Amino acid sequence: MEKLYESVEKKGTVCVGLDTAVEYIPESLRKSYDTVEDQLFYFNKKIIDATCDITATYKIQIAYYEAEGLSGLNAYKRTLEYIREKNIPVIADIKRGDIAKTAEMYAKAHFSGEFEADCITINPYMGIDTLEPYYDYLKNGKGIFVLLKTSNPGSGAIQNIKSENNETVYEILATLLEKEGERFALKNGYSPIGAVVGCTHVDEGKKLRKMMPRTFFLVPGYGAQGGTAADVSEYLNDGNGGVVNSSRGILLAYKRDNPDNLAFDEASRHAVIQMRDAISAVSKRG
């Protein structure tokens, strides 16, 4: 989270989601490479090269690569390595959620070896002990983003259930996460235990920001899911304290709102700049 915080200070809050489906790749690039692995990787590489100076972090959703079998996972591995070579923090969106030895193996798989990332996403709904196998890695510079109040329309069916004390499930979890994070406090005041808070539920997001002043947010839902820059500003602390993800809005920018017929990587860069500037314009700075 220290690397993320510093990256946001330098480059703004944009997180580019490399949720790359083969059908997103322009036909001309697909024809240039014979394998799905190369098609996925070189598309990602062009996006990274075009945006790395204006992007705080990249989030890679593993499902898009798993769907292509070993070729896809090789592209996933190469993409992670390429981003980390550039000294840019990378988030592996794996949404793992298990306990004990199984969670230890997930931690080993995604915090070391061929699939090593700086941060990963975790599903905590088996209980708070789903987080504990990751703690040794947090002490050595890694981070986790825990699903808290997600951006999907159906999230409230579970996350908004109220207890006998009139607290929602997500509020109870928020209190637990903020408390768990206290043992790992960083110099910048945040914790390596972050939270996923979708910007499609603004009232809940504002409440959570007040409840969790030391928790770094990963904010999905911008753009394609309906979240706006004004919404996102409520999730930040003086313009930091979170990164805002956009995937299709950036990867597919060349297919829409592209009157100058920019190449796909140039169109993605333009989309990142627009997003960064829109959020910066409405975010409060100390």
Q: Tens digits of per-residue pLDDT, 35-51?
A: 999 999 999 999 999 99
Say if residues 85 and 116 touch (Cβ distance below 8 Å). no
DSSP secondary structure string for all residues of 110-174 = HHSGGG--SEEEE--TT-GGGTGGGHHHHTTT-EEEEEEE-SSGGGHHHHT-B-TTS-BHHHHHH
pLDDT category of residue 283 using cuts at 50, 70 and 90:
confident
How high is the pLDDT of residue 258?
Answer: 73
How high is the pLDDT of residue 21?
Answer: 98
Say if residues 43 and 76 touch (Cβ distance below 8 Å). no
Per-residue pLDDT averaged across 252-264, rounded? 85
- Among 53, 259, 60, smallest CA distance to 145 is for 60
What residues does 240 pair with on adjacent strands?
237
Phi, psi of 219 (to 5 degrees): -115, 100
Q: What is the pLDDT of residues 56-68, one digit of tens each?
A: 999 999 999 999 9
How far is the C-alpha of 125 from the C-alpha of 89, rounded, in Å? 26
pLDDT category of residue 222 using cuts at 50, 70 and 90:
confident
Question: Would you state the structure tokens that stand for residue 269, as one six-digit string?
Answer: 């860069």
pLDDT category of residue 284 using cuts at 50, 70 and 90:
low
How high is the pLDDT of residue 108?
Answer: 98
Active site residue 206: no
Q: What is the pLDDT of residues 94-126, one digit of tens each?
A: 999 999 999 999 999 999 999 999 999 999 999
How high is the pLDDT of residue 285?
Answer: 54
Per annotation, catalytic residue among 45, 95, 108, 207: 95
How high is the pLDDT of residue 95?
Answer: 97
Question: Would you state the structure tokens that stand for residue 218, as one six-digit string?
Answer: 């990963």
* Helices within the chain (DSSP H only): 2-11, 27-32, 36-51, 63-66, 69-85, 100-111, 135-138, 156-159, 169-181, 202-211, 229-233, 248-251, 264-282
Per-residue pLDDT averaged across 179-189, rounded? 91
What share of the chain has pLDDT > 70, as a percent?
Answer: 98
What residues does 196 pair with on adjacent strands?
147, 218
The amino acid present at 113, given as its one-letter code, is G
Say if residues 194 and 184 touch (Cβ distance below 8 Å). no
- Among 55, 145, 48, smallest CA distance to 93 is for 145
Write the burial class of residue 169 (CB in 10 Å: 0-12 exposed, 13-18 middle, 19+ buried).
Answer: middle
Write the DSSP symbol of residue 259. Answer: T
Neighbours of 229 (CB within 10 A): 21
How far is the C-alpha of 263 from the C-alpha of 133, rounded, in Å? 44
Q: What is the pLDDT of residues 226-244, one digit of tens each?
A: 778 888 988 999 899 999 9
How high is the pLDDT of residue 201?
Answer: 87
How high is the pLDDT of residue 286?
Answer: 43
Say if residues 144 and 192 touch (Cβ distance below 8 Å). yes
Say if residues 240 and 194 touch (Cβ distance below 8 Å). no
Q: What is the pLDDT of residues 47-57, one digit of tens each?
A: 999 999 999 99
Locus of tokens 């989309």: 271
2-282: CATH topology is: TIM Barrel (3.20.20)
